[in-house]
Structure 1
């Protein structure tokens, strides 16, 4: 069994048989229901903007990010800390590139 660095809800292993539509719905729900409001706003807004446009490989990378602790994700997205090398990829760049100030207005 794989151990993930998340104190609350644990994302299941990626199911290759899950339909793309169901997967996107599940990832959107998980993006908006993280546990801390900051993560909800960052990841939920990202999901609303990008999930429909992401390739299968990008969805895989996003789903891997969702396995990380909220406090780490928020710090990486806001550039308070650099993400680990294996998580510093195109999806992280999209997360970091969003203008979140426009969203909360």
Structure 2
């Protein structure tokens, strides 16, 4: 599968998690960062998407320890939370 098709598929999965909060966090993260990812980072994000939303959100918010296999640049960027749109 080519890169663009793979990213489109990942974007859909990131924005359709089933819970609005997870959609905003994971989808917003994808939109903010995915274009700069290399193939290894895309593969890692695909693996992260297989995890439960509550776990991904806990890792991002720092309320649960990140599994060693996910530690690195993607998880560090996910933890910044500056990509989540906030309406006032």
**TM-score normalised per structure 1:** 0.77
Q: For 1:47-92, what per-residue CA distance to the aligned partner results, in whole angstroms no more than 9, with x for missing partners?
A: 1111111111110111110010011001111111111111122111
Task: Tell which structure's C-alpha radius of gyration is larger.
Answer: 1
Q: CA RMSD in A?
A: 1.2
Question: Corresponding residue for 1:104?
Answer: 86
- Runs of 4 or more off by more than 6 Å in structure 1? none
Matched residue pairs, number? 87
Task: Determine which of 12, 15, 19 is the counterpart of 1:36.
Answer: 19
Question: Structure 2: any 5+ residue segments left out of the alignment?
Answer: none
Aligned residue number for residue 60 of structure 2:
77
**Structure 1: tracts of 5 or more residues without a match:** 1-17
Greater helix share, structure number: 2
- Separation (CA, whole Å) in 1 of partners of 2:83 and 2:73: 18
Are 2:10 and 1:27 aligned?
Answer: yes
How many Å separate the matches in 1 of 2:16 and 2:36?
A: 21
CA shift at 1:98, angstroms? 3.3
